[in-house]
């Protein structure tokens, strides 16, 4: 029994021996008693947890803090996409490749178009599918094809996508704060497609929910 339950509860060998010595009955009454006491235990535990008045105190007493574990999961490895600066969403720290469900217009990460110094409105997922090139400190300011980004960022997986689909949320953010991003990055505001200007706040928030399957 101890062997089978080891995953869920720990019974010391000591306890096992004392209990076993006391059980003199045959199998049938034993299982009957066990089932009965399990349902009692179940009820007892439920009461214990539902009655706990101060949840913060209960949380503080736990050896592993659920809020810390949740934070670690959500925070992930802390790395950001080398182009648009979206945080890696791979969960926890132990993963081979960094990835994110939705990449952002690159201007939000400070990328600009070389010839006119405007913030770039294209997405990394579009760029890695195109013939475009990039340069930054990692390439020592030499132009390098987006398609071959893994030369500099082998730990990132940025899926190539020819559709220019940014979630409405990030399009909305870029339109609304275009000037402020430009100011922050000391660049010129991005040329945003006209259609992006018509995105409402509601559509933007819906886009965010759709991207992360939030109902």
List residues binding Zn ion (CB under 5 A).
Answer: 77, 79, 81, 83-84, 88, 90, 98, 103, 124
We find the least distance from the C-beta atom of residue 167 to Zn ion, in angstroms, to be: 12
Burial class of 73 by CB neighbour count within 10 A (0 to 12, 13 to 18, 19+): exposed
C-beta closer to Zn ion: residue 33 or 74: 74
C-beta closer to Zn ion: residue 84 or 199: 84
C-beta closer to Zn ion: residue 89 or 191: 89
Of 61, 97, 90, the closest CA to residue 73 belongs to 90
We find the least distance from the C-beta atom of residue 2 to Zn ion, in angstroms, to be: 39
We find the least distance from the C-beta atom of residue 87 to Zn ion, in angstroms, to be: 8
We find the least distance from the C-beta atom of residue 176 to Zn ion, in angstroms, to be: 20
C-beta closer to Zn ion: residue 83 or 170: 83
Q: Are strands 133-134 and 144-145 parallel, antiparallel or unpaired?
A: antiparallel
CA 21 – CA 28 distance, rounded (Å)? 17
Structure-block tokens of residue 144: 């390098």
Angle between helices 201-211 and 168-184 (to 10 degrees): 110
């Amino acid at each position: 029994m101890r062997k089978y339950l080891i995953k869920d509860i720990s019974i010391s060998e000591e306890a096992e021996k004392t209990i076993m010595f006391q059980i003199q009955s045959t199998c049938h009454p034993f299982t009957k008693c066990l089932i009965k006491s399990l349902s009692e235990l179940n009820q007892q535990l439920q009461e214990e947890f539902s009655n706990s008045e101060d949840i913060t105190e209960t949380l503080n007493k736990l050896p592993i803090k659920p809020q810390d574990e949740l934070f670690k999961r959500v925070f992930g490895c802390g790395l950001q996409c080398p182009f648009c600066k979206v945080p890696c969403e791979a969960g926890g720290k132990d993963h081979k490749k960094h990835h994110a469900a939705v990449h952002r217009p690159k201007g939000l990460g400070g990328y600009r178009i070389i010839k006119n110094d405007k913030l770039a409105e294209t997405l990394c997922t579009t760029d890695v599918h195109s013939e475009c090139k990039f340069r930054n400190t990692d390439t020592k300011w030499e132009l390098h094809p987006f398609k071959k980004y893994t030369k500099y960022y082998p730990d990132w997986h940025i899926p190539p996508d020819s559709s220019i689909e940014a979630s409405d949320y990030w399009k909305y953010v870029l339109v609304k704060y275009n000037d402020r991003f430009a100011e922050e990055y000391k660049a010129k505001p991005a040329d945003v497609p006209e259609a992006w200007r018509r995105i409402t706040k509601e559509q933007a928030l819906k886009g965010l929910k759709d991207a992360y399957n939030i109902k």
